Amino acid sequence: MAVDGYYLNHRQEMLEFVPDSAKRIIDIGCAAGEFIRNLGNIYGREVWGVEPDKRAAKSAMKYAYKILNMDADRALQKLPNRYFD
């Protein structure tokens, strides 16, 4: 089953807020990974994603270094400390 349009937001306007020094990034609520794709594939960043929706998380897996398919509260307990920029 395809991921609907809600999960396909590229969020281009957010790229300007990511400093050049940020090399390891976490995207909480990454949806289908469109923003992750921009950061990872285009800008060469190591991007992890957190997404509770199973279909969206599966789609994001092709773009992210790692995807955690769970809610943010649970993910925050599993993410490495002081790892992300």
Question: Residue ranges of the domains in the chain?
Answer: 21-78
List, in order, residues 6 or more apart from 48 with CB less than 8 Å away.
Answer: 24, 25, 26, 27, 64, 65, 66, 67, 68, 79, 84
The pLDDT confidence band at residue 3, using thresholds 50, 70 and 90, is: low
Q: How far is CA 19 from the centre of its chain?
A: 16
SS3 30: coil
DSSP 16: G
Please state, in angstroms and rounded to a whole number, the distance separating the CA atoms of residues 52 and 36: 16
Q: What top-level class would CATH report for the domain 21-78?
A: alpha beta
Closest CA to 51 of 36, 29, 73: 29
What pTM does this model have? Answer: 0.85
Mean pLDDT, residues 37-46 taken together: 85
